[in-house]
Amino acid sequence: MREIKFRGRVKNTINPQWVYGIVIPPQYSSWEDWTLFDGERRWIVDAKTVGQYTGLMDSEENEIYEGDIISFPYRRRTETGVVYYVNSGYLVKNKVCLHDDDLQSVMFYKEIHVIGNVHDNPEIFKE
């Protein structure tokens, strides 16, 4: 069974940190903000940074989340792509193919590396 968890960046702090756990959007709670429970405490997170764990790990055992930027080999060179969720599946948007690839298909390359995310490192992958 796949582990269901999310990450989000803590809102309104001088040095925003990432927290991991279960997320509750405001429409399902009495709080006005997006909330993430890490098992011990409740964090208020920036809704734009919330991403779900894909259930997959890169070559170095790093968890892959929605919004992560990954690198992978493609036709004898290294390509980058952004992981995102659509229609009950994860896709990778990359610049080479000019279309989206299923994340499971990209995982066949074996040498997948999380190199950042669209929130902390937007310069890595610009449209």
Read off the pLDDT of residues 14-35 as tens digits, 9 standing for 90 and up: 888 999 999 988 777 677 788 9
Q: What are the structure tokens assigned to 108, written together?
A: 């066949």
Cα-flanking dihedrals φ and ψ of residue 67, to 5°?
90, -5
pLDDT in tens, 68-121: 999 888 778 888 888 988 887 887 887 665 456 667 676 666 788 999 999 998
- Other residues' Cβ atoms within 10 Å of the Cβ of residue 72: 21
End-to-end CA distance of the chain: 35
Q: How many angstroms separate the CA atoms of 75 and 122, rounded? A: 25
108 alpha carbon, distance to own chain's centre: 19
**Could you tell me if 100 and 61 are in contact, meaning their C-beta atoms sit under 8 angstroms apart?**
no
Question: How many Cα atoms are found within 13 Å in the side-chain-facing hemisphere of 11?
Answer: 14
CA-CA-CA-CA dihedral for 47, 29, 66, 14, to nearest 10: 40
pTM: predicted TM-score of the whole model, two decimal places: 0.85
